[in-house]
Structures are given as structure tokens and as C-alpha cells.
Amino acid sequence: MRIALAQLNLHVGNFDHNIQLMLDALSRAKRAGADLVLFPELSVCGYPARDLLLSESFVNRCLHTVEQIAGHCNGIAAVVGGPARNTGKPGKKLYNSAFLLFDGKVQFVYNKGLLPTYDVFNEYRYFEPATSFQTFDFGGQRLALTVCEDIWNIGEHPMYPINPPDMLQSHKPTVMLNISASPFAWNHYTERMRILSATARKYRLPLFSANLVGGQTDLLFDGGSAVFNSRGEMIDSLPQFTEDLCVYDLQEVETATAQPIPSIPGGTGKCALIRDAIVMGIRDYFRKTGIKKAIVGLSGGVDSAVTVALAVEALGKENVWAVLLPGPHSSDHSVTDAVFLAERLGIRYDTISINDTVVSMEKSLQQHFKDTESGIAEENLQARARAVILMALSNKFGHMLLNTSNKSEAAVGYSTLYGDMCGGLSVLGDVYKSDVYGIARLINKEREVIPESTMTKPPSAELKPGQKDSDTLPEYEILDAVLYRFLDEQKDAETIIGEGFDRAMVVKTLKMISGSEYKRYQTPPILRISPKCLGVGREMPLDADYKTICEPVKTVSRTN
């Protein structure tokens, strides 16, 4: 048997687009001699469809699309993902299913058993979990179909009480097929490959996995579809961040040369992955929303510089407009650095001073601010003046404003609500400041695009004379180390302090995180590139009376 992996960039709800992509892949695979094509999870409607799955008409269109694709499956089979109706038991109305199509019709349906409800996932909101699992004989092979999470319940600490591959194993399958929509995080590819390897090795089956690629709002999917032999050795993987189709001979997989599973990247490798993911995310968000052009406030700092450079890479220089917004405390080098970058990238740029706007706002508030000391409220008027101008330009010309805040700032609330937090898409909101510099160095690898002075000057919001970020925050190398441990690794304060960090600094940092949750409820969609994003997947109550800081734990003794 020859099996094709079709790694496609599907679009939620765009059925015509998805059908065309799948039929094109089916045609190419047939010409290449494939017997069966494997498409990603929920491929007919795109993933994640979220509350569209609550719409009866949407589900009807999904099922109709399955029938349309089945009509083209003559001389070749396909496994496509989509919702199936639950007609046989109490519970949710739908299953998350894999349909095997052949001879113009649906021959077999496998329903997903393990429905993730953690981090970015909420599948049990829509689907009923299957509790029984069957194989299907096709082309002289006994196929064990699985859907994404179904093969992840492996290892010493299983999350679910059942394990679909264990139940499929009793039917003596000869090959395992997995359709997947596994989101990207910079360290996740290695983890996914290890799971696939462990599954193939445990059940002594060759394993073929087709994973989704592309951006869908804030979730990014990197592809990396893969093939493993029955010894758990990786035979091949498709490239990340791009569509691809490859055909494999099942028998040759067992004798092919194995490839090493890449280790989790660090340093430059990590930043390169993040850069590629963000570029794909920007490009797909604009393409899928139908918006053509981006506008960015260019400050002369590293965050806006990296945002503009990545936007140009994703959209083309003709589709990016930079606006310089100098204010009363902007330094000369901030303006010259911004101009240097814009001219190096070849993009349109304009300069609009906010001085008159700020003066007018201060005059309007003069009566109400009298007898008070000038402080953060006055500083934030500058950030909000910039936002008003940028949003006015966005509104007038239909361009999308890209937000430039990084994860370090967003985590501790070092940002202005309705000011520099504005925008239609947060490009760097899941990227720590240290990694922003790493991406900047990659952008400058061939030639100086981002001015060296931008890279070396102390970061500053430039909202008051001589201001530096370090006046308020720890140095970013230290701050990011604490934030990573707390947010990504979910370590508590005492554990972080026990690793050698200053107690007062850790307590202050965690208080800032807790105190700024309300701001993050109002941010634009954040492109997710880490295991724990401050956007999708993070759910924190705003009015809870529990703060994640160093407080002694009160123990209560109980007597009978």
C-alpha cells in the first residue's frame, strides 16, 4: 500500500477553499500512485471551528462536504476529518471523526475518544467521546485510525481512563493512521515526535500522521507531518510552516533509513522557529480575514522594529505602512533609528507629532487634574494619543494596526490600556523581550536592517525625561527567567526563589502579574508560540481573593 500525507493550510468555515485544496491533493496523490490519502483533523471545516459547531447549518455543510469529497474517491481512498452526528447514545450531539472514503462513499467512521479540555483546547464543549473502537480492512491492510489526542495518552501518568490504541490493538491492526491538528509551540515539535515514536514502538506498528499547517487567528499549526516504522524510528517528516504532500510505500518504510528526532531548540534555533511561525501567522491572518495592508507605530525601539520587519516578510513591503509618532520626550535617535529601518525595508513611512494632541488633552483635563502631582496618568496620555492617531488611520484606510507589545511587558502590565495595547493582532505578545532581541539579530544576519543603536540602547517608553524600563522592571534577562518559570513552567514563588532569585524581586514581579490580569482581558489576539500564552489558553479570574505571590500557607488542624 502507498499512503500519502496531505499537509494542508485549511481555513475554518471556508468550505469551497478547503474542498479545492483537498481535491487538488487527492488528484496529485493519485497521479503519484497513492492508494490512500491522509488529511488533517477536522479538515472539511478547519480547526478549531469553536462555536460554529453549535450551528446546525454549519454541521450540515460539513457532512455535505464529506459526501462531495467521497464522490471523487474512485481508485483512491481518503481519510478526512469532520464532525459526525451522535445518533446512538446520550450526550453531545457530535463526534470528532475520521471518515474513510472509497468507491464514491463513506466506508467507515472512526470517532475520537480522547477530547482535550486543557490549555487551548475545549473539545468536550462540542463533542461526545467515543468509548468503543474498531479497525477497518482496506487494501490488504488492517487500519487502526486515530484522531490526534487518541495517541497521546501514553507514558507513566496518563490523563484519561481509557487508551484507544490499547483497544484497537486487540483487533490486530497492521498500520496506524493518525489525523491531527496539533498547535505549534517552539518546543512542541520534539514532544510530538517523541509521542509518535513511543506509540509506534509500543504497538509495533508503522505510524503515519498528517498534521494541520497554517495560522487560524491566534493558534498556529506547524505541520511537521511524519512517518515512523514499527520500531518507533522516524523515517521522514514534512517541513514545518508550509503545505506539502508526500507519498510513502508502506513496505519500504520498514527498511528505510531512520532520521534522528530533533532536540528541543535553544538560542538561535528557537528564535528562528519563532520567527517562521510569526511570519506564517501574520500572513495567514491577513489572508483569511481579507485585509491587505498593515499599519505599525514605529518608535525606534526593538519591539516595533521587529514587528515591522516580520510584517514586511509576511505581507511584502508595499503592504506595510510605518507611522512615526514623536512626542515631548522622544529622543532624536529614536526618530533617526525608525527612519533608518523604514528606508532599509523600503516601506512607506510618515511622521505625525503627538505634541499638539497631548497639549490639547492636558488642557481638557487641567481643571480636574489641578492640585495633583504629575505622574503615570499624564505619561499615559502620550501613549493614548498615539493610539488615537494610529486607530484613526486604520479606520480611515482599512489597514490593520499591528500591536507591538512583547510578552515580558504584557505579563507585568508594563503597557497602557487603550494606548500601546491597541491593535488588531498582537505579533510579539507571546515572545519574551530576550527572544525579541534574538529575532532582531536574525533579521540583521545578512545586513543591518534594524539599527545597531536600537539593539544596544537601554529600552525606554520615553514618556518622561531619562526614563528607562529598568527604572520599573528588573533587567529583562532576569525578568524573563522569572516569568518563564512562573508562566511557562508553572512553578510557584517559593520554588523560583529556591532557584536563586531575589525574594523581593520575585514577590514584586508576581504581584505585577496578578495586578494586570484585567489588562490582558482586553488585548488583541496574540499569536501563540509558547507552551503557555498570555492569550488563548490562559484563564484567570479577575476578582479572585487569591494572589500568586509568596504568602505563608495557613494550616488548619482538625480534631474529631
Query: CA-to-CA distance for 273 and 280, rounded, in angstroms?
Result: 11
Cell of 488: 511557562
DSSP letter for each residue of 67-79: HHHHTT-SSSEEE
Q: Between vectors from CA 297 to CA 241 and to CA 221, what angle results, nearest 5°?
A: 15
Q: Give pLDDT, residue 446.
A: 92
Q: Give pLDDT, residue 88.
A: 82
Element (H, E) at 203: helix 188-203
Return the CATH number of the domain spanning residue range 268-520. 3.40.50.620
Query: CA-to-CA distance for 431 and 407, rounded, in angstroms?
Result: 5
| CB 296 within 8 Å of CB 311 | yes
Report the amino acid identity of residue 47. Y
Return the CATH number of the domain spanning residue range 2-264. 3.60.110.10
378 vs 279, 282, 311, 470, CA distance in Å?
36, 33, 31, 20
Neighbours of 318 (CB within 10 A): 12
Element (H, E) at 389: helix 376-397
Q: Give pLDDT, residue 320.
A: 98
Q: Give pLDDT, residue 544.
A: 78
Cell of 394: 486604520
Residue in 15, 171, 127, 129 with CA at minimum distance from that of residue 80: 15
Q: What are phi and psi of 436, to 5 degrees?
A: -60, -45
The proportion of the chain whose per-residue pLDDT surpasses 90, expressed as a percent, equals 89
Q: How crowded is the C-beta side of 422, counted as CA atoms within 13 Å?
A: 21
Q: In the annotation, is 148 catalytic?
A: yes
Range(s) for CATH 3.40.50.620 in the chain? 268-520
pTM for this one? 0.94
Compute the residue count for the chain: 560
Query: CA-to-CA distance for 132 and 469, rounded, in angstroms?
Result: 57
Residue in 77, 101, 95 with CA at minimum distance from that of residue 29: 77
Q: Give pLDDT, residue 463.
A: 73
**Which residues, 6+ apart, have CB-to-CB distance to 96 below 8 Å?**
41, 42, 81, 83, 111, 112, 115, 123, 126, 127, 147
Query: CA-to-CA distance for 322 and 342, rounded, in angstroms?
Result: 7
Q: In the annotation, is 112 catalytic?
A: yes
**223 DSSP assignment:** B
The alpha-helical segments, DSSP class H, found in 41-176 are 56-70, 164-169
| CB 314 within 8 Å of CB 241 | no
Query: CA-to-CA distance for 442 and 53, rounded, in angstroms?
Result: 41
| CB 212 within 8 Å of CB 40 | yes
Q: In the annotation, is 452 catalytic?
A: no
Catalytic residue, candidates 30, 112, 293, 433: 112
**198 DSSP assignment:** H
Query: CA-to-CA distance for 447 and 461, rounded, in angstroms?
Result: 27
**Which residues, 6+ apart, have CB-to-CB distance to 206 below 8 Å?**
175, 176, 200, 227, 228, 229, 230, 250, 253, 254
Spans of the chain below 70 pLDDT: 462, 546-560
In tens, the pLDDT along 494-513 reads 999 999 999 999 999 999 99
Catalytic residue, candidates 41, 123, 149, 409: 41
Range(s) for CATH 3.60.110.10 in the chain? 2-264
| CB 535 within 8 Å of CB 429 | yes
In tens, the pLDDT along 28-55 reads 999 999 999 999 999 999 999 999 999 9
| CB 482 within 8 Å of CB 432 | no
Catalytic residue, candidates 45, 73, 148, 271: 148
